[in-house]
Chain A
Amino acid sequence: MICEDARLLIGADPDAAGHELEEHVRGCDGCRAFREEMRRLNGDIRRALEEPPDIRARAAPRAQYAWREYALAAGVVLAMAAGLAVWLLRPTDTLARDLVTHVKAEPESWLSSHNVSAGSIDHALQSSGIGLDLASDKIVYAQSCWFRGHYVPHLVVETTHGPATVLILRHEQVKARDDFREGGMTGVIVPAGDGSIAVLARGRGQVDDVASELREEVHWLPEPAPTPQSTQQ
């Protein structure tokens, strides 16, 4: 046995014994001294370990450790659940919601089956500075309504699939077509000119054809100065 091996054994366990080790230690003063030193040190280590370490009491007792961890985990789960709920219950497009709210506030618009006079249609359109080439015999309801701070034409047109509500929104820009279903209604908002056109139908009514047709037939005229009118919303 060489000194390195002997000292590894002695340093790892000062009380280690073995024929080879004993034989080496007998003939090596350095390793013998090292073992004596290690045995003294080991005695000190044993005495040092006999008493528990002098640990100060922690400000936050560890007894609460598990509780804190569970609370943290529960908090994370709750936060995730809340986030999911918020996402699931998030309001749909605000403009779409406002449109549905507005249309539902005028239920009589769905009941009309008579053609509206050209004068009424003109009034509804011109108040907002809008021209429309649509045949007047398709329009069964025409009002100029206060919507989001502006007067907008609120029309109901007869289609082969039933009545469809049209709101021409000069001041509402949308970046792209927005289909929605809200409050039992189907709708679409399409960009048109500087604003947009919204078409809504009850249930799963057809709105695409109307929206496409109206985009071609709407003209944006200079906007007239606001004047007091009806305050429907």
Chain B
Amino acid sequence: MRNPPVQSPVSSLSERSRAAQARASLTALFESMRPDLLRFAQWLARDRSLAEDIVQEALLRAWRARDALKDPAAARAWLLTIVRREHARLYERKRLELVSLDDTFDIPDLAAAASADAELLTLRAGLMRLPLEYREPLVMQVLGGFSTEEIARELELTNTAVLTRLFRARHKLRGLCGPSPAPGAATGEQPA
């Protein structure tokens, strides 16, 4: 009967060292993305502390499922997806209490509307006021870089439904603060 090969303690230490390095590298990668994730979560949740909770929970889930991340280049999209799902989970679970935006969001001062940033401020206020069904795909697209097909998959919607929501989201924002339509330009009404 042959004894099993004895593992070299040297190679074992080397493997452990590599694993530790990989973990450290992944930790650094996750941490580097935290600001992006937090911003994304804040635009979804419209609540800073809640967004921090969401990101924390999402990073925890991501860490537990880190073996699923094969390509570090895909980490951002992967983490954003986890954050979105965590937000959706929390939203479903809690049926989040309705909060007056006037209590939580700094509405742009109308007096400041004359400044160059007025339009941007108004747009930010408009984004905050967008219903989640419009805000979510828009934030995913513009901030997350997801394609309409990816958004449709993630939100479990048809591609047409996503296109319509994105169109309506922009239409609402355009109506709020957009420039005057150019002559002959579209009315912005949703196409059939």
Contact = CB atoms under 8 A, between A and B. Distances in A.
24 contacts: A4-B191, A5-B191, A8-B163, A8-B164, A8-B191, A12-B164, A30-B184, A30-B185, A33-B181, A34-B182, A36-B182, A37-B181, A41-B174, A44-B119, A45-B127, A45-B142, A50-B39, A52-B43, A55-B46, A55-B48, A56-B105, A57-B48, A58-B47, A62-B52
Interface stretch (B6-14, B24-32, B61-69, B165-173): B165-173
B123 interface: yes
Contact of A54 (B52, B105, B148, B168): B105
A31 B186 contact: yes
Interface string A51-76: 11111111001110110010000000
Contact of A63 (B49, B139, B167): B49
Contacts of A13: 141, 148, 163, 166
Interface in B149-192: 162-168, 170-171, 173-174, 177-179, 181-186, 188, 190-192
A53 B43 contact: yes
Contact of B167 (A8, A36, A61): A8
Interface of B: 38-39, 42-43, 46-50, 52-53, 94, 103-106, 119-120, 123-124, 127-128, 138-139, 141-143, 148, 162-168, 170-171, 173-174, 177-179, 181-186, 188, 190-192
Contact of B179 (A37, A53, A55): A37
B127 A65 contact: no
A38 interface: yes
Q: Which 10 A-B pairs have the closest CB atoms?
A: A62-B49, A4-B191, A11-B167, A12-B166, A12-B163, A62-B50, A33-B182, A34-B186, A54-B106, A8-B191
Contact of A48 (B47, B48, B50, B127): B127
Contacts of B94: 65, 69
A105 interface: no
A63 B52 contact: yes
Contact of B139 (A14, A30, A49): A49
A29 interface: yes
A42 interface: yes
A7 interface: yes
Contacts of A12: 148, 162-167, 170
A122 B48 CA distance: 86
Interface residues of A, number: 42
Nearest to A36: B182
Interface of A: 3-5, 7-9, 11-14, 29-31, 33-34, 36-38, 40-42, 44-58, 61-63, 65-66, 69
Contact of B186 (A7, A14, A41, A53): A7
Contacts of A53: 42-43, 46, 105, 124, 127-128
Contacts of B106: 54-56
Contacts of A52: 38-39, 42-43, 48
Nearest to B124: A48
A41 B120 CA distance: 10
A84 B6 CA distance: 63
A61 to B, nearest CB: 5
A61 B190 CA distance: 40
A40 to B, nearest CB: 7
Contacts of B50: 62, 65
A98 B162 CA distance: 74
Given A8-B191, A11-B166, A30-B184, A48 B123 contact: yes
